[in-house]
Amino acid sequence: MDSPSRSRASWLLSLAMAISCAPASERPVPDTAGGRTARTPATLPGDAVRGLALLTAFRDSLPEHSGNTLRCTSCHLDNGTRGTAMPWLGSAARYPRYRSRPGYEETMERRINECIARSLAGRMLAERGRDMQDMVAYIESLRQRPRPTPVDSVKLVGKVVQGAGGYAQQCARCHGSNGEGNPALSAPAVWGPDSYSIGAGMARQFTLATFLRHNMPFDHADTLSDREAADIAAYVLSKPRQDHPGKERDWPNGDPPADVAYATTAARASGTSLPPKRPVLRRRVSPDSIR
Ligand code: HEC
Ligand code: HEC
């Protein structure tokens, strides 16, 4: 695992550690995210700099918490500032926030842990721990940035057969013909054991199609039609990916979105039509925190 990207990632982390002047034990970690004042990236506090290093080199920095080869910024592009890629601009001000997937009000820490457990197929971090609080500090630093207008969702049912052709033409050169990714091009896996789990937002048809429509191919963003994006998303999502234990407890109030990737207990009980079963792989890491 001595790839250039790995050593670059470790270098970035050591740089971030060097920049943060006080040792971790002397640096105060505020009790609540809301208690922090907003700072512009030019004057990032040490903990936000370290947080950004963790967000961009998650697996190299926190291997015990990573269940695939993705990093946070594989999806939250441009360090979470790209408006079409689930931006973190202004996110801090939106939490705590009620979300229908868990069915309760989530803190920012819990929201991040959801992405760790589902999108990174990993193990949740201790909410009061330094690693979590440093990542929160980075997202806090974007609190005052205006939230971009959300892009229109691509709400089309995708066709897998058409999507196979589109994937071969538009995606395979970077993500590989078996979806395995290509570290030399920094292109992560899009299905299989190194990809996000079935419980991730990106495993939903409309969420993936919308992301692709505006952000992929990486070097020619905004060139796919809605139809191409939907078909390619359907093809990618027809392939196996890691399971997410407990996913059937999602949307406990029986209000799953139309593009939900799996059957939930509440939907079953209310007689809602259930989505077709998707192939899943064994989970590599339990999502539950061990600390
Ligand atoms: C596989 C893609 C993917 C990866 C990797 C990923 N996320 Fe996410 N994240 C998403 C999606 C999709 C959403 C939901 C966006 C929405 O609700 O519209 C999301 C939402 C979020 C939100 C909520 C933003 C808001 O304003 O409500 C935060 C915070 C977040 N992610 C942080 C993280 C962190 C931190 C990591 C790494 C530990 C991470 N994500 C990794 C796809 C990903
Ligand atoms: C020129 C190379 C390239 C092409 C072509 C390309 N991508 Fe990507 N893709 C990337 C890179 C690089 C990233 C991650 C960016 C980062 O980590 O900063 C990415 C990220 C992604 C992600 C989020 C992370 C993950 O692995 O799940 C998905 C999904 C994705 N691409 C799907 C596609 C699909 C589908 C196509 C075809 C329409 C495509 N990409 C075409 C390079 C490419």
CA of 13 to the centre of ligand 2 (A): 24
> What pLDDT sits at residue 204?
98
Note whether 9 and 102 are same-domain residues: yes
Note whether 231 and 208 are same-domain residues: yes
CB 155 within 8 A of CB 50: no
Which residue out of 72, 190, 194 has the highest number of ligand 2 atoms within 8 Å of its CB and is therefore the one to mutate? 190
Nearest atom (ligand 1) to Cα of 70: 5
> What pLDDT sits at residue 271?
87
| Residue pLDDT, tens place only, 120-140 | 999 999 999 999 999 999 999
Note whether 21 and 105 are same-domain residues: yes
CA of 81 to the centre of ligand 2 (A): 17
CA distances from 260 to 179, 236, 263, 274 (A): 22, 15, 8, 9
The residue among 224, 210, 214, 217 whose CA lies nearest residue 156 is: 210
Note whether 100 and 166 are same-domain residues: no
> What pLDDT sits at residue 74?
98
Q: Which of 115, 140, 165 is the last residue of a domain?
A: 140
CA-proximal residue: ligand 2, atom 31 (nearest): 216
Question: pTM (2 decimals)?
Answer: 0.88
Q: Which ligand is nearest to the CA of 185?
A: 2
Question: Domain for residue 23, yes or no?
Answer: yes
**Cβ(75) to ligand 2 under 6 A?**
yes
Number of domains in the chain: 2
**Distance from first CA to last CA of the chain, Å, rounded?**
27
Nearest atom (ligand 1) to Cα of 97: 27
Note whether 158 and 290 are same-domain residues: yes
Angle made by CA atoms 176, 180, 183, in degrees to the nearest 5: 85
> What pLDDT sits at residue 212?
98
Pocket of ligand 1, beta carbon within 6 A:
55, 58, 70, 72, 74-76, 86, 88, 91, 94, 111-112, 115-116, 119-120, 135, 139, 196, 200-202, 207
Q: How far apart are CA 288 and CA 113, in angstroms?
A: 10
CA-proximal residue: ligand 2, atom 4 (nearest): 217
Q: How far apart are CA 130 and CA 56, in angstroms?
A: 16
Peptide bond between residue 41 and the one before it cis (omega within 30 degrees of 0):
no
Note whether 65 and 125 are same-domain residues: yes
Q: Which residues of the chain have pLDDT under 70?
A: 1-46, 290-291
Expressed as residue numbers, the domain containing 223 is 152-291
Note whether 66 and 157 are same-domain residues: no
CA of 139 to the centre of ligand 1 (A): 11
Number of neighbouring beta carbons within 10 Å of residue 176: 17
CA of 87 to the centre of ligand 1 (A): 8
Note whether 23 and 75 are same-domain residues: yes
Q: How far apart are CA 226 and CA 181, in angstroms?
A: 24
137 CB contacts (<8 Å, ≥6 apart)?
Answer: 36, 45, 47, 48, 51
Note whether 44 and 178 are same-domain residues: no
CA-proximal residue: ligand 1, atom 2 (nearest): 75
Q: How far apart are CA 8 and CA 116, in angstroms?
A: 22
CA-proximal residue: ligand 1, atom 30 (nearest): 112
> What pLDDT sits at residue 119?
98
Q: Which ligand is nearest to the CA of 87?
A: 1
245 CB contacts (<8 Å, ≥6 apart)?
Answer: 283, 286, 287
| Residue pLDDT, tens place only, 186-244 | 999 999 999 999 999 999 999 999 999 999 999 999 999 999 999 999 999 999 999 99
Q: Which ligand is nearest to the CA of 71?
A: 1
**Cβ(192) to ligand 2 under 6 A?**
no
Question: Domain for residue 253, yes or no?
Answer: yes
> What pLDDT sits at residue 82?
98
**Residue found under tokens 């940035």:** 145
CB 57 within 8 A of CB 10: yes
